[in-house]
Amino acid sequence: MDFELTEELKMLKDMAYKFAKTEFPAVSHECDTAEKYLHDLRKKAAANGLIGAWIPEQYGGAGAGILGNAIITEELSKVDMGLGLNIVAATFGGETIFQYGSEEQKKTYLPPLCAGEKVCAGAYTEPNAGTDVAGYKTRAVKEGNDYVINGNKMFITNGTVCDFMVAQCITNPQEKKHNSFSLIIVPADTPGITKNKIHGKMGIRASDTAEIAFEDVRVPQANLVGKEGHGFQQLMHFFDTTRVMVAAQALGLSEACLETSIKYVKERTVFGAPLGSFQITQMKLTEMAIRIEALRGLVYRAACLIDQGRPDYTLAAMGKFFGGQTAVFCANYAVEIHGGYGYIDEYDVQKWYRDAKILELYEGTKEAEIMTIGRVLQTR
């Protein structure tokens, strides 16, 4: 087994971190407090090959695979997870086009994403159904050569800034629940779409999140992704893959918490001695470091297996579950180590504390991951 990254991946890792350290600090606070999305920052990232790095070169990507994308996600998240999300999630939903779309759809929609010219959104979650994907209610009814879509979506990443979205809709209501769904590409400027930005999020406030309503939205049936009635299975595969990205976000944020805490305890003096000389402080740093290294193994291995064509989606679910726990754990300890200073916005740890919690919620709650893993374990 070789645990060393290739020279190409090492260069990608270094380049992604340097980009974040150069571009993020000057705008991080403003984007967090003002809930501001920066299109120019996304375009700069695209010029550096950081958007859609998992997409093969023939469709405009860097061809770095899922591992390469995870590494980019990790490095960007070390500096600002919200701004990093705007870069790595600019293609969010495009995964299903790549996995199941026609050749024409791939050539039409993927290159502009990688170039930073357009943004995709995955319109999946609904007001009364998040993790319960089978509970989605949005309908797409055939009329002539079109689908007419009605329904509502909630908590949609890139919702107000996207150029197109991939929407999960019921197209075959007469079929069994899991066979009734389809994925459909919907241009964001189609008449009948209403987009409302969600304000007041606890964390990742630089990332755009919206509620979307479809009222008699008409799109060509040619916009169907893959086969009609296969949307549920396609979406499950999509989440199985993107959970690696969420785990990578957790890895980067956790590493930032540890590195910043180590620096602080070396400088901070209490009771006449460096804060880092106390056993309780060393215990906290040690527990953070152990969890981070365990998480790194899960993230990198899950990503490598997908790239090798041998995906282990249970491993990806483990990475997502443990990643959320690790990020919340490390952010909590980072705030505690910084004491009162960790509670004010002069220090980044308070922001990381707020950002960390979403990692236990989106792309499948930690409870959903437990059920996924638990069912698999009982079949072995």
Residues carrying an active site annotation: 363
DSSP code per residue over 104-140: HHHHHHHHHHHTTS--EEEE--BTTBSS-GGG---EE
The H or E element that residue 195 is part of is strand 193-197
Q: At what angle do helices 65-77 and 279-307 cross, to 10 degrees?
A: 150
User: What is the rounded distance in angstroms from the CA atom of residue 289 to the CA atom of residue 257?
Assistant: 10
User: What is the rounded distance in angstroms from the CA atom of residue 197 to the CA atom of residue 372?
Assistant: 31
Structure tokens at 355: 């950002």
Q: Which of 276, 263, 255, 248 has its CA nearest to residue 329?
A: 255
The backbone torsions φ and ψ at residue 129, rounded to the nearest 5 degrees and listed phi first, read -155, 110
Q: Which of 90, 54, 94, 91 has its CA nearest to residue 72?
A: 54
Judging by DSSP bridges, how do beta strands 139-143 and 181-187 pair with one another?
unpaired
User: What is the rounded distance in angstroms from the CA atom of residue 334 to the CA atom of residue 260?
Assistant: 8
Coil, strand or helix at 59: helix
User: What is the rounded distance in angstroms from the CA atom of residue 338 to the CA atom of residue 230?
Assistant: 50
User: What is the rounded distance in angstroms from the CA atom of residue 83 to the CA atom of residue 169?
Assistant: 30
Specify whether the CB–CB gap between 323 and 291 falls below 8 A: no
Q: Which of 146, 165, 109 has its CA nearest to residue 221?
A: 146
Structure tokens at 37: 């999305």
Instruction: Print the SS3 string covering 220-233.
Output: EHHHEECCCCCHHH
Instruction: Say which residue the tokens 């799109």 belong to.
Output: 219
User: What is the rounded distance in angstroms from the CA atom of residue 145 to the CA atom of residue 219?
Assistant: 9
User: What is the rounded distance in angstroms from the CA atom of residue 55 to the CA atom of residue 141?
Assistant: 32
